[in-house]
A and B are shown apart, each in its own frame.
Chain A
Amino acid sequence: MSVDLSQFLQTFFEESFEGLDTMESGLLELDPERPDPETLNNVFRAAHSIKGGAGTFGLTAVSDFTHRMETLLDRLRDGQQAVTPDAVNVLLNAVDCLRSMLAAIQSDQALDADAISTAQRQLDEQLGQTPTGTASGASGPAGDTGGDRGSAGGGGDATPPSGGGGWWIRFEPQPHLFATGNDPRRLFLALQDLGELEVECDTSGLPPFEQLDPETCQLAWTLRLYADVTEAAVREVFEWVEDDARLEIRPLEAAGTEPAAAAEGGAAAAVAAEPAAGAEAAAPAGGEGRKSAARRGGAGGGGSSSSIRVDTEKIDALIDMVGELVITQSMLSQIGKEFTAERLEELQDGLAQLERNTRELQENVMRIRMVPISFAYSRLPRIVHDTSRALGKAVDFQMEGEQTELDKTVMEKIIDPLVHLVRNSVDHGIELPEERAAAGKPETGTITIEAYHKGGNIIIEIADDGRGINRDKLLGKARAAGLVEDGSELADEQIYDLIFHPGLSTHDQATEYSGRGVGMDVVKRNVRSLSGNIHVRSTHGQGTTITISLPLTLSILDGQLFRVGDQTYIIPLVSVIESLQVDASKVSRVTSRGEVYHWREGYVPIVRLHELFDTEPVRRELGGGLMVIVEDEDTYLGVFVDDLLDQQQVVIKSLEANYLQVPGIAGATILGDGTVALILDIAGLIEMSRGGRRQPYIPDREDSDEAA
């Protein structure tokens, strides 16, 4: 029987990465003084399933590595070994190492042998502290990817260590064992890690060949484990199959009188050797699976997982809704068949119901893409842990609103900025314990990240109770860099916004944790690219709060509709500051060409959209006309339009997919009557108004045939 395992490989990777996240957050939660047994159990279970999965797919290097972690975790769990910060760190490193191993295997790249052996050595050192010795001795060498260890069962000529203790085990699985995803061979391999193992297969339960169902387990086994381990350790191997099998474990001495079944020994060895051969066959299959998984990953683009885990509740809700939709549809078609004027009201009711169904269905389909922000949160405790440790700071990190949902694409793009901001808070915000004590604050600083919904947006706030931004120092630096003119006064908010300016750091020198990788300017750009906003509030000496506001989804936006000529356009509502009727007396000219409008103590340039877009307007006279003041990154623009229409949600469609990128146009949408309306790109519009390019962008490509 051969099963193509590769199809499950991707799931294995996904689950393993999730397991690693669980392990990491569990380890970070561990309080060395009062380790929570449940947390340790969780971490252990995650390691255990990765090990099991890796074994199934023949990823021996991974399963061996995980085995060591598991052994260490087990000892911590049993209290054989104290939970020390060192042990936790070693395990965290091991989690990192395992993550990169899995990532390397997934993308079909070579494993980093050095990193693995370092992590392994650290684990062994930890393990070496209690001299049981059996477990560390049992693991194979690093990078051993062969299936050779699969010969567990072939113990026909293995001589049991004389006089050693051990266990006699009778294992009679129920026929449905395989259906629960368990493989006896894995169990035996795990036992073999504990010590010398003899496996004897009892084939008496097998039906005649014609009646054989390869998916049921009709075998039973008698095993002898020559190892000085506790019964609990043996039981634990069978932990997952306890409910699916009859299990008997006795000390070997007591079992000595059991029928030896020596005559069957040969047959048993032969049967047991079969899984071993299977293991060798599974290894190349696993390799192939890796390749195809990597290909799939490549096609998906950029390694980020393209699948999504959806709460079954959401799917149930969708199914209910589709049910309702079908009922409405049949009701409408019924009316349609026998329509009379008297039934008009009925028809209208039906249509109203259809509209409601459609809207609900749309909302719920969108919800499928919504994932809780805890995914983005998961990396943060580690960042805080590592950074604060390296900088000698004490930080209490709190996460709130973990169940707040946002679009998967948005979430993937917000992770890096969040990581950066949190790291920044530790590095720049929180002071050293002695500084804090001197300032009369508790030695441990607090960083809080909170996510919540507000209107159609999701708000993420990162707050610390650190030293705050030194307003004057920042302003001084900005002046020195020529960003702010001497003598000009800025509002606090404007000053704090300066930290997003590239090349402006309040830190006097770059540390390991700042001044490299993404800077605050990149953070801001990322947030803007998601049509979001970012703001800083800070009180010197008391802390800084950074607030990010993001749209819930990237595919729908709230728009202000308006007309120029015979065309309808849409401005994203987030960019609209206000709409006003032009007061001719407030219009001035600069060098008789550029027009500006006196607005809120300042002047905004006026842009006539029909000029930028080279179309025929209905109205050319500014005075009494309508203008929309729009903003992008603190730049304001007055867009002169013919007529303002209503505001509505629009679905964003790509213009580039079948055409090209056009300056000033962010995309298109389809209006209620089926026609297409263009959505303006405010940043692009501002650039155009300053004489930027107008023609569509030709994608980067060698252009030679026009040369002739």
Chain B
Amino acid sequence: MQAAADGDQYLTFTLGEEEYGVDILRVQEIKGWQRVTPIPNTPHYVKGVINLRGTIVPVIDLRERFGMSAQEYSKFTVVVMVRVVSAGGRERIMGLVVDALSEVYTFQSEQIRPAPEFGAALRTNFLRGLATVDDNKMVIILDVDELLSDEDLAIADDQSRIAAVVRADSEGGTEHGND
């Protein structure tokens, strides 16, 4: 990860009480929720595909991806279109359904702390790190490339993953070691 002298900008959004950020350069556009066409036999968090000006783009519900309780979509629901680069260098556009947009923050690379290890039960490879805003608010910086790997798009996985990580961290503020 390379940071310019004046830091990188991150677009943040909320899922429940939590705030997440993605590299703003990966954000292609932001859309309201619209009806999707479901794709058969895909993980539950892959909501389906939409027509993004003539191309077919999959939409992923981040709440469900993180195993959080699903929420009914409203006119405030936002879909963040991000550019994802997979291992083979293949670029794709995908939509992330989030509760609401929040802020744009600038972080220096040293402001982003590595996420703690949570052991084998939780994969944290899609966490680029954790950053702190206003001394007490934590922003979880996502690595969208890892978040939306081919396996994640194809095979439904366990639902517990990151939600527990985040709660433990934001409530207690202490770093857990391995179980």
Contacts and interface: CB of A to CB of B under 8 A. Distances in A.
Contacts of A664: 40
A455 B39 CA distance: 33
B128 to A, nearest CB: 16
A658 B150 contact: no
Given A658-B94, A670-B51, A695 B56 contact: no
B43 to A, nearest CB: 9
Contacts of B90: 699
A659 B41 contact: no
A694 B153 CA distance: 13
B92 A658 contact: yes
Interface stretch (A78-86, A139-147, A456-464, A607-615): A607-615
Nearest to A694: B41
Interface stretch (A483-491, A623-631, A673-681): A673-681
B154 A696 contact: yes
A614 B87 contact: no
A286 interface: no
B57 interface: yes
Contacts of B150: 660, 698-699, 701
Q: Indicate the member of B40, B46, B120, B153 with the most A CB atoms within 10 Å.
A: B40
Contact of A612 (B35, B39, B40, B46): B40
Contacts of A694: 40-41
Contacts of A152: none
B93 A658 contact: yes
A673 B32 CA distance: 17
B41 A662 contact: yes
A676 B49 contact: yes
Given A668-B49, A676-B49, A696 B41 contact: yes
A671 to B, nearest CB: 9
B21 interface: no
A699 B38 CA distance: 21
A654 B93 CA distance: 13
A49 to B, nearest CB: 41
Given A614-B41, A678-B37, A658 B57 contact: yes
Given A615-B38, A659-B39, A676-B56, A696 B120 contact: no
Interface string B22-39: 000000000000011111
Q: Indicate the member of A658, A660, A675 with the most B CB atoms within 10 Å.
A: A658
Interface residues of A: mostly helix, strand, loop or mixed? loop
B151 A698 contact: yes
B115 to A, nearest CB: 16
B40 A701 contact: no
A695 B58 contact: no
A131 B136 CA distance: 98
A252 interface: no
A695 B155 CA distance: 7
A659 B151 contact: no
B40 A614 contact: yes
Interface in B31-79: 35-42, 46, 48-51, 54-58
A708 B55 contact: no
B111 interface: no
B151 A665 contact: no
Interface string B133-169: 0000000000000000011011100000000000000
Given A670-B54, A701-B88, A675 B42 contact: no
B49 A657 contact: no
B125 interface: yes
Given A613-B41, A615-B40, A696-B42, A703 B55 contact: no
Nearest to B42: A696
Contacts of A658: 49, 55-58, 92-94
Interface in A664-708: 664-665, 668, 670, 674-678, 694-699, 701, 703, 705-706, 708
A551 interface: no
A615 B41 CA distance: 9
Nearest to A613: B40
A699 B88 contact: yes
A653 B54 CA distance: 8
A678 B154 CA distance: 17
A707 to B, nearest CB: 11
A676 B48 CA distance: 10
Contacts of B155: 695, 698
A511 interface: no
A562 to B, nearest CB: 14
23 contacts: A613-B41, A614-B41, A615-B40, A653-B55, A658-B58, A658-B94, A659-B46, A659-B94, A662-B39, A662-B42, A668-B56, A670-B51, A674-B51, A676-B49, A678-B40, A697-B154, A698-B154, A699-B88, A699-B90, A699-B150, A701-B88, A701-B150, A708-B120
Closest 9 CB pairs of A and B: A613-B40, A676-B37, A694-B41, A696-B154, A659-B58, A658-B92, A698-B150, A668-B56, A670-B51
Interface of B: 35-42, 46, 48-51, 54-58, 87-88, 90, 92-94, 120, 123, 125, 150-151, 153-155
Given A614-B41, A662-B42, 4 more contacts: A612-B40, A657-B56, A676-B37, A694-B41
Interface of A: 567, 612-615, 653-655, 657-660, 662-665, 668, 670, 674-678, 694-699, 701, 703, 705-706, 708
